[in-house]
Structure 1
């Protein structure tokens, strides 16, 4: 299954997504984004979520950084930083300004509506699952992938907390099983940190890094990721 984001063919090399807030977009120097192939705009982490401000930030990010944009309005149940009443309305506004949309598989009502818009505007849809407490068993994780694909997402993203080495390995094996279906995986926390480097070897398409502040436990910076990938001859 070949998946493209703009000029990037996913799976050829591990891509790096830099996670940004509205403050980051307004203050970050262009050079700080050089290691990133994509940028993820985390609207739930914005200080101002008025419609005009959000749209201005997306336009500024596209113009200033000239990189594909992943739009995310994360649900508080899966790590979102603030309660947002009309997430669907925000998603509808930013779909035309983005290249990829990330919606939780558990937010099925929103995901179904956004899938229609992604089809209309020819955008990629990531269906995501986050567990900040533990890593579920392999059968459950397989069912998440299957359900995401049933809902029509292009890529399934799974992030789960790793409490030990076995959790880390379990997610790596899941990645390998579904590498041809379009998948992104990462183990969170200090025990899961190696997954952000090595899961791409098993088929994970994108590794997420921060610019100024981590957006998830155990996250590396984009500069650290590109250094490690190059040092290991992965890029």
Structure 2
């Protein structure tokens, strides 16, 4: 697996890096969360703009992004608009989604931007091209909050993200039983050996918590923790997760 650098963070080498979400709905709450989170020293901060009540006001969005940067300094920033269909907080038509993503990339409002894989490819392709020009890392993602697809399907989706030009491929699934967690972990191991870009995988909810701490063993390069509020079910508090990753570090290879 090749590594990818997001500001000062390298995905794909060593222990999985830790990202923490900012989920504030107002500017004041967003900046308060950013201050509290950066003090805990995560590897990366994810600004979940689908929680922000004025997300379609692009001038305000850019202004807050600049204020976040001033607060977090050199901490890597991932900006994500998670659509309602994939577990996000706001239901917008695809036309608005693409406008938001283009604005994020054109104005480099983050070091990395999340783009969901399963939208109209004719609209996705120009965004990938633009990201290369603007030197913005693209984490391409897919989220299933209802079930865990087969191992073959999970690997196939991650491979399709690489083929589409993503810098990092991400998938999150919901387990119904223990076998689903094993399915996700097995798919992670297979994908990490067949894909040249870093991958991020997780099984959500309490049942899937183990997948958030064993990424180094199976091949997931980033895990998500909580400080102020979780953005997905099963996220572990940052201090605990950091220690668990240290405890599971592979030192004899």
Task: Establish whether TM, by shorter chain, passes 0.5.
Answer: yes
1:207 alignment partner, one of 220, 223, 228 = 223
RMSD: 1.9
Question: How many equivalent residue pairs?
Answer: 235
Structure 1 residue 51 corresponds to structure 2 residue 58:
yes
Where do 1:57-206 residues align within 5 Å?
Answer: 57-66=64-73, 67-85=75-93, 86-95=96-105, 96-107=108-119, 108-180=121-193, 181=195, 182-206=198-222
Question: In the TM superposition, what is the alpha-carbon distance from 1:103 to its structure 2 partner?
Answer: 0.9
SS in 1 for 2:176: coil
Tell me, in whole angstroms, the C-alpha distance in 2 between the residues paired with 1:160 and 1:121: 31
- Structure 2 partner of 1:3: 4
SS in 2 for 1:145: helix
Unaligned runs of 5+ in 2: none
Tell me, in whole angstroms, the C-alpha distance in 1 between the residues paired with 2:43 and 2:158: 25
Question: In the TM superposition, what is the alpha-carbon distance from 1:75 to its structure 2 partner?
Answer: 1.5
Tell me, in whole angstroms, the C-alpha distance in 2 between the residues paired with 1:234 and 1:223: 20
Question: In the TM superposition, what is the alpha-carbon distance from 1:216 to its structure 2 partner?
Answer: 0.8
Tell me, in whole angstroms, the C-alpha distance in 1 between the residues paired with 2:163 and 2:213: 29
Tell me, in whole angstroms, the C-alpha distance in 2 between the residues paired with 1:141 and 1:230: 27
Tell me, in whole angstroms, the C-alpha distance in 2 between the residues paired with 1:105 and 1:166: 26
Question: In the TM superposition, what is the alpha-carbon distance from 1:206 to its structure 2 partner?
Answer: 0.5
Tell me, in whole angstroms, the C-alpha distance in 2 between the residues paired with 1:32 and 1:155: 23
- Structure 2 partner of 1:28: 33
170-179 or 15-24, larger mean C-alpha shift: 15-24
Question: In the TM superposition, what is the alpha-carbon distance from 1:113 to its structure 2 partner?
Answer: 2.5
Does the aligned pair in 1 maintain the 2:185–2:211 contact within 8 Å? yes
- Structure 2 partner of 1:222: 238
Tell me, in whole angstroms, the C-alpha distance in 2 between the residues paired with 1:128 and 1:101: 10
Deviations 1:161-181 (A, max 9, x none): 012221111111111112252
